Each structure stands twice: as C-alpha cells, then as structure tokens.
C-alpha cells in the first residue's frame, strides 16, 4: 500500500500531469468565484478536453478544477453575500456580515485556511480508506454491481430535488436513453429513429454538456444582467488574523472536516448539504451563540472545512463502487469511460497507483489554491463585476467545441442543443438533472450485469447472495426515509406549489408528458425484439410509465388546488412577467445556437464561431463593433491555436468553403 501511495505521488508530480493540475486549479478558481458557474458546469465543460490525455493527467486536470471551486466560491459569498456555488450558501450567513463590519480579509483568511486543511484531510482519508473498502469491493460480482447501481440511482433520484417521484422517473429515463443504438447482447439496433448517427448510441459529452452546462449558459444569457451590481468593498488586511482563527478553533475545523467526509461518502448528498450540516453543528456545539448570523468567524470555519473535505469522501464510492458521491462525480465517471477504466476492483488492485495519484491531486490542489487565493483575493473579486453578456460568448465557444471534440460530427451539436433544451425545461420545472446523467452512464453497465447475472444464476441471485439482499434492504430504507422526509416537508408547507415543480407548474406537466411518451415508446418499441434485447428496456420502461403517471397526476392536482385557491390563473401558469420575458430570451438564445450551427455548415467552425461571437456581442450584448471584432478575433486565434494546431480537430467540411 505504501509503495502504491509513493508511486501515485510520483505520477502526480510528473510532467504533464502537474501542468494539467495547475491549469485545472486556475480554471476551477474562476468557476468557483463567478456566481452561476460551478464545479458541476466546469466538470461538464472540461470533460471533453480529456480526450487524448493519459489517465493521470486527465484526472489531475478534472480534480484540480473541481477541488478548488469550493475554495474560491467564498470570495463572492463573503464580499457581496452571493455564494459562488451552492456549497457556499452557509458561508454567507456569517461571512457577509464580517465583510460589512470591515473584516472581509479576516473572513478570507479563515475560509481559505480551513478550505486547504479540510481538503487535505479529505484527500488523506480517501487514500487511507482504500484498505477498508478493498476487500468489500473484491467480494462484489455482477449481481452485486447491478444492485449497487440500482442503489446509487435510488439515492440520487430520491435525494435530488423536492420530489422522489421526479428523481426516480428521471433516473429511469437516463437508463432508457442508454439503450439507443446497437444492443450489447445481439446486434439489433434500438430506438435509432432511422438515423444512422444514432446506431452507435448517444455520445456522452454532448448529452452531459446539454443537460448541465447549456442551461446555466442560457440562464446567464437570458438574465440580461451583470453577474453582480454591488460595488466592491475594501478587503485590505486581516488575512493573518483569519488564519489564526482557524488554528484557534482547530477542534471545530477537524470535526467539520469529518462531517464533510462522512456526507461525501453517502451518494447524492455532496457539499451543498455538508456545509449546512457543519454550520448547524457549529451553532449547536458553541457555548456562546449570540454572534452567529452577525459575523462570527466560526460560521465561516465550519462550512468551509466541510465543503472541501467532502470531495475526498465523494471519491470513495465513485472510485470503489462506481456510484458517484455527487452530480460532478457522475460526470467524472464519464472520464473513466473515456480513459477505458472501470471503477471497482481494477482501481483498487491493478490501478491502485492511479487511485493514489487522485488523492495527491486533491491534496496539492487544495493547498495551492488556498495560497494563490490569499495572494490574489483583492484582484480576483473584480471578475464578478464583468457583464454577463461578455462572459457568455467565450463559454459558448468552449461548450460548442467541447461537444464537437468527441466524435466531430454535426449530430453532436444537434444532440447538444436538444438535450440543452431538455435541461432548461428540467431546471425551470423543478426536475432534478443529476439522475438522468447517472442513469445514462450506468445504463450499459446495468444491462450487461443483469444479463450475465441471469445467465449465471437465474433469478436466484436476488435472494441467495447476501450482499444483494443487504443492498435491497438499503434501497427500501432509502426510499422510506426520503418519502418520510418529503411528507414532513409537505405538512410544513403552506402551499402545494413545490409538488408542481416550483412557480411554473405547466412546465412540470410538460416534462411529465415528455417522460411518459418516451417511456411508452420504449416499451412498444421493445416488444418485437428477442428476450435478451428487450428485457432491460421493458424492465425499466414499466416503472418509468408508472412514475410519470404519478408525477403527472400530482402536477394536475397541484394546479387545481392553486386554481381553487385563486393563486394561479391564465398566463400565471407560466410564471410572472419577468420569468416569461426571461423564457422568451432563452428561446431566442437557442435561435442563436441554431444560427451558429447553420453558419458552420455553410462556412465551417473557424469562421462561424467568431462571427457568431461578434454578432452576439453587438446585437445581444449591445457592445461596440470595435470591441466585438477584437473579442471575436481573439477567440478565433484561440480556436486556431488550441483546436487546430494543438488538438488537431477534424473540422466540419463546409458547403461553401469545403
């Protein structure tokens, strides 16, 4: 074990892995510091750039980015009371009042110190937990992995969002989407709609970018607002005092770090929950609670330690069992697929040095980010005041080229836009997005595990293998507690709007109908196939139909209740006037993406994307032509250097220019 840890250290510090780690750290600090971006969207955007990398460099790049987003997110949380990511919500409670009292730098010192220490503790625990989980993983065969995947989907579906029915329904749709293309058992095409592009299945990267990254980009573009309109405040001095605060409260820091690790190991919870649990623990365990919420440094120490240590905890189930500890870890599983790796026994035996290199990447990233942020905090805060319309074109370029990098086919962009629209619908209607991506990633693995389990054991493995029985009990317990919690929440609520997917119930109904139609189509289409080919789609499609019907029924009930109460009528079904205006701008933005696609067909991406950027800046962002042209030219140079000279992208052969 020690030899593997040292080999992992050597791999992590070698070139080019150390260079990719540094680049990931810089990108991650930006994604954490800018509200609206996050480790989730960053993971989705950077995933396609791991094509062609060696495994150590790929994971160093992704984990370096992801590890530091919950360090830099405290910049906006403290300065302007706006969390850079959802993981910094609890930091706002006392961090922002500290800034208003002139103690912003003190808060920064405490936050960055605790983030570094919490992240290091999480990384170490991740590495030293391997001897514990290794014998457990080696006891798993195909039946156990199938049931473990079911448990992971159940946890993610049950604990994502405010409705267990929606979460589980979305998870089943993800499994059905994975069935597109040739079946593994017999070379029979499934759900390909007569389109040759779909015979090989839907590509992972455009689907992930569409579901996660594009909705955030659309929201930023449609909002027509600056990222922040609050004036900058002075943060000079106080860093050293904040660092001393962290050391003085070392016992709280340590307890909060282990809270984060524990929550990270539990699939589907993640840093958003960890920081609130740690903050609550800090308040409950304090003798003097009078200053909490008014600028108590302990209210910064606890959540910042927890939301960084959680990353190490999340990696344990992801690497050892293939069950992501959070939505970004679900995307990280895509990196495993790209690198031809399988989470589980392989990562704990033959690839143990690679697993330890991930541990070292987490540790180095947290330390380096904390040091850099302490040096750059006063300058980095200026980033958040950039107008949203100026940020959108650059991110759009990365999203489009990221989707293109995998297969280099026009269908990749179409898939991106289609799933982007679905992602926007899910986001606006209160449907969780993480389960659909996890289902899509686990679909082939589950179908293959089920097929081999039935061939080897029949159906007897359901009750003869004790680990399978234990996992089934955990599934039942997960569903029970999720339902009980939601019943409690519903009793406390004064209205039933949450059951209808938020303030826009008609969009939730539209999503329910979409899930129902897709589920019925999957069952009908599978009826004529051989048993080995149709078994999994039908096994998944039937509960998908039942779940979709249950959600649709509850959505309709909720709207009727609102109508009777007089809280919703006419156009209000589509939200208030501001929301409807933003919805229209979202539709217009998809029109811009369609324009970029059509223009690429005519003249190629190297010309089309810069033209798209320039026109978008002038017509949407209301910038001057001079600024737009300079911006577009810089993007064109970047495209040519990175994607033509370095990556050697296969560009689309345009109609006009060939």
How far is it, in rounded angstroms, from Cα 108 to Cα 115?
10
The answer to whether 441 touches 177, Cβ cutoff 8 Å, is no
Is 295 within the bounds of a domain?
A: yes
The closest of 467, 395, 377, 600 to 141, measured between CA atoms, is 467
Angle, CA of 502, 508 and 512, to the nearest 5°: 150
The model's confidence at residue 497, banded by pLDDT at 50, 70 and 90, is very low
Is 212 within the bounds of a domain?
A: no
Is 527 within the bounds of a domain?
A: yes
The residues pairing with 182 across neighbouring beta strands, listed in sequence order, are 189
The model's confidence at residue 50, banded by pLDDT at 50, 70 and 90, is confident
In the predicted model, what is the mean pLDDT of residues 295-323? 83
Judgement on whether residues 519 and 585 belong to the same structural domain of the protein: no
Q: Helices 410-429 & 388-407, crossing angle to 10 degrees?
A: 130
Please check the confidence at residue 384 and state whether its pLDDT lies above 50.
Answer: no
How far is it, in rounded angstroms, from Cα 489 to Cα 423?
26
CA 9 to chain centre: 27
Judgement on whether residues 583 and 533 belong to the same structural domain of the protein: no
Judgement on whether residues 35 and 102 belong to the same structural domain of the protein: yes
Judgement on whether residues 240 and 282 belong to the same structural domain of the protein: yes
Residue 145, pLDDT score: 77
How far is it, in rounded angstroms, from Cα 517 to Cα 181?
19
How far is it, in rounded angstroms, from Cα 140 to Cα 466?
11
Please check the confidence at residue 85 and state whether its pLDDT lies above 80.
Answer: no
Please check the confidence at residue 216 and state whether its pLDDT lies above 80.
Answer: no
Judgement on whether residues 6 and 113 belong to the same structural domain of the protein: yes
Residue 490, pLDDT score: 66
pLDDT > 90 in the chain, percent: 12
The closest of 268, 278, 320 to 439, measured between CA atoms, is 268
**pLDDT tens-digit map of 270-308:** 666 677 778 777 876 777 767 777 778 888 888 888 888
**pLDDT tens-digit map of 112-171:** 888 888 888 888 887 777 667 666 656 667 888 788 778 777 766 665 556 788 888 888
The model's confidence at residue 617, banded by pLDDT at 50, 70 and 90, is very high
In the predicted model, what is the mean pLDDT of residues 615-627? 91
Is 37 within the bounds of a domain?
A: yes
Residue 495, pLDDT score: 39
How far is it, in rounded angstroms, from Cα 174 to Cα 189?
18
The closest of 578, 583, 565, 577 to 500, measured between CA atoms, is 565
**DSSP string of 352-400, one letter each residue:** HHHHHHHHHHHHHHHHHHHHHHHHHHHHHGGGGGSBHHHHHHHHHHHHH
- Look up residue 181 and give its DSSP letter: E
pLDDT > 70 in the chain, percent: 82
**pLDDT tens-digit map of 328-370:** 887 888 888 787 877 777 777 777 888 888 888 888 888 888 8
In the predicted model, what is the mean pLDDT of residues 488-505? 51
Query: Which of 243-257, 599-613, 642-656 bottoms out in mean pLDDT, i.e. has the lowest?
Result: 642-656
**pLDDT tens-digit map of 217-269:** 787 777 655 444 444 444 444 678 888 888 888 898 898 888 888 777 766 55
Considering only residues 85 and 371, tell me which one the structure prediction assigns the higher pLDDT: 371
**Beta strand 181-182 pairing with 189-190:** antiparallel
Residue 598, pLDDT score: 93
Judgement on whether residues 257 and 354 belong to the same structural domain of the protein: yes
Residue 557, pLDDT score: 81
Residue 474, pLDDT score: 85
The closest of 278, 299, 276 to 93, measured between CA atoms, is 299
Judgement on whether residues 293 and 364 belong to the same structural domain of the protein: yes
Residue 226, pLDDT score: 47
Judgement on whether residues 536 and 635 belong to the same structural domain of the protein: no
Token digits of residue 540: 């998944």
The phi and psi torsions of 294 (rounded to 5 degrees) equal: -115, 0
Instruction: Domain of residue 8: give its range.
Output: 2-135+230-385
Token digits of residue 656: 């006009």
Judgement on whether residues 284 and 335 belong to the same structural domain of the protein: yes
Judgement on whether residues 368 and 504 belong to the same structural domain of the protein: no
Taking the CA atoms of 227, 89, 291 and 238 in sequence, report the sign of the dihedral they define. negative
SS3 content of the chain, % helix, strand, coil (to 5): 80, 0, 20
Query: Which of 394-403, 449-458, 564-573 bottoms out in mean pLDDT, i.e. has the lowest?
Result: 564-573
Q: Is the peptide bond before 589 cis (omega within 30 degrees of 0)?
A: no
Calculate the alpha carbon distances from 73 to 29, 70, 79, 395, 581 in Å: 8, 5, 11, 19, 29
Is 159 within the bounds of a domain?
A: no
Judgement on whether residues 46 and 72 belong to the same structural domain of the protein: yes
Judgement on whether residues 378 and 520 belong to the same structural domain of the protein: no
- The residue among 332, 350, 385 that closes a domain is 385
Please check the confidence at residue 610 and state whether its pLDDT lies above 80.
Answer: yes
pTM over 0.85: no
Please check the confidence at residue 207 and state whether its pLDDT lies above 60.
Answer: yes
Calculate the alpha carbon distances from 295 to 101, 107, 114 in Å: 8, 9, 17
The domain tally of the chain equals 3
**pLDDT tens-digit map of 456-486:** 888 888 888 888 898 889 888 878 877 776 6
- The residue among 540, 568, 596 that closes a domain is 568
In which residue are the tokens 């509200």 written?
35
Please check the confidence at residue 498 and state whether its pLDDT lies above 60.
Answer: no
**pLDDT tens-digit map of 503-556:** 467 788 888 999 999 999 999 988 888 888 888 999 999 999 999 999 888 888
What value does the mean pLDDT of the chain take?
Answer: 79
- Kindly give the residue spans of alpha helices, DSSP state H, lying in 430-530: 434-457, 461-464, 466-492, 505-526
Is 312 within the bounds of a domain?
A: yes
Residue 213, pLDDT score: 74
- The residue among 530, 549, 568 that closes a domain is 568
Is 428 within the bounds of a domain?
A: no
> With the CA atoms of 641, 646, 649 and 654 taken in that order, what torsion angle do they form, in degrees rounded to the nearest 10?
30
Is 188 within the bounds of a domain?
A: no
């Amino acid at each position: 074990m020690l030899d593997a840890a040292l080999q992992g250290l050597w791999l992590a510090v070698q070139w080019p892995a150390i260079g990719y780690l540094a680049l990931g750290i810089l990108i991650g600090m930006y994604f954490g510091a800018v509200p609206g971006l996050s480790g989730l969207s960053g993971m989705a955007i950077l995933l396609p750039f791991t094509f062609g990398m060696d495994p150590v460099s790929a994971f160093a790049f992704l984990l370096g980015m992801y590890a530091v987003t919950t360090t830099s997110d405290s910049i906006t949380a403290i300065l302007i009371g706006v969390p850079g990511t959802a993981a910094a919500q609890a930091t706002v409670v006392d961090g922002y009042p500290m800034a208003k009292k002139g103690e912003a730098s003190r808060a920064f010192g405490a936050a960055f110190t605790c983030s570094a220490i919490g992240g290091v503790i999480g990384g170490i625990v991740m590495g030293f937990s391997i001897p514990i989980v290794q014998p457990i993983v080696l006891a798993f065969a195909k039946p156990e992995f199938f049931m473990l995947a079911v448990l992971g989907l159940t946890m993610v579906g049950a604990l994502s969002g405010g409705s267990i029915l929606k979460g589980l329904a979305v998870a089943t749709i993800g499994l059905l989407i994975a069935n597109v293309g040739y079946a593994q058992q017999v070379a029979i095409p499934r759900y390909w709609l007569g389109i040759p592009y779909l015979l090989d299945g839907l590509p992972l990267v455009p689907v992930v970018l569409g579901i996660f990254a594009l909705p955030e980009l659309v929201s930023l573009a449609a909002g027509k607002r600056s990222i922040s309109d609050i004036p900058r405040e002075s943060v000079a001095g106080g860093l050293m005092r904040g660092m001393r605060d962290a050391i003085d409260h070392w016992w709280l820091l340590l307890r909060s770090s282990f809270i984060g690790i524990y929550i990270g190991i539990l699939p589907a919870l993640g840093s958003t929950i960890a920081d609130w649990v740690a903050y609550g623990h800090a308040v409950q365990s304090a003798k003097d609670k009078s200053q909490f919420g008014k600028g108590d440094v302990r209210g910064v120490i606890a959540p910042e330690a927890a939301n960084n240590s959680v990353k190490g905890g999340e990696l344990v189930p992801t690497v050892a069992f293939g069950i992501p500890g959070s939505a970004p870890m679900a995307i990280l599983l895509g990196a495993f697929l790209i690198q031809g790796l399988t989470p589980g026994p392989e990562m704990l035996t033959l690839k143990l040095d690679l697993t330890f290199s991930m541990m070292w990447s987490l540790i180095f990233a947290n330390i380096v980010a904390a040091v850099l942020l302490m040096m750059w905090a006063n300058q980095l805060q200026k980033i958040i005041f950039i107008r949203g319309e100026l940020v959108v074109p650059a991110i759009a370029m990365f999203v489009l080229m990221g989707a293109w990098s995998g297969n280099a086919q026009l269908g990749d962009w179409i898939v991106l836009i289609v799933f982007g629209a679905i992602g926007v619908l899910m986001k606006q209607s209160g449907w969780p997005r993480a389960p659909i991506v996890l289902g899509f990633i686990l679909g082939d693995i589950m179908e293959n595990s089920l097929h081999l389990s039935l061939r080897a054991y029949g159906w007897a493995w359901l009750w003869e293998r004790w680990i399978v029985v234990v996992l089934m009990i955990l599934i039942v317990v997960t569903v029970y507690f999720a339902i009980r919690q939601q019943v409690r929440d519903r009793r406390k609520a004064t209205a039933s709007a949450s059951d209808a997917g938020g303030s826009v119930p008609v969009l939730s109904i539209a999503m329910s109908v979409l899930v129902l139609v897709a589920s019925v189509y999957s069952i009908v289409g599978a009826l004529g196939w051989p048993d080995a080919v149709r078994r999994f789609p039908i096994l998944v499609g039937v509960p998908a139909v039942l779940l979709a019907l249950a959600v649709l029924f509850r959505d309709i009930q909720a709207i009727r209740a609102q109508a009777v109460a007089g809280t919703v009528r006419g156009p209000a079904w589509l939200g208030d006037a501001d929301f409807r205006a933003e919805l229209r701008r979202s539709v217009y933005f998809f029109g811009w993406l369609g324009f970029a696609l059509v223009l690429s067909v005519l003249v190629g991406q190297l010309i089309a994307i810069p033209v798209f950027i320039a026109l978008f800046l002038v017509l949407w962002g209301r910038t001057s032509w001079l600024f737009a042209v300079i911006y577009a030219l810089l993007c064109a140079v970047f495209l040519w250097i990175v994607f033509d000279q370095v990556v050697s992208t296969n560009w689309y052969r345009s109609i006009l220019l060939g």
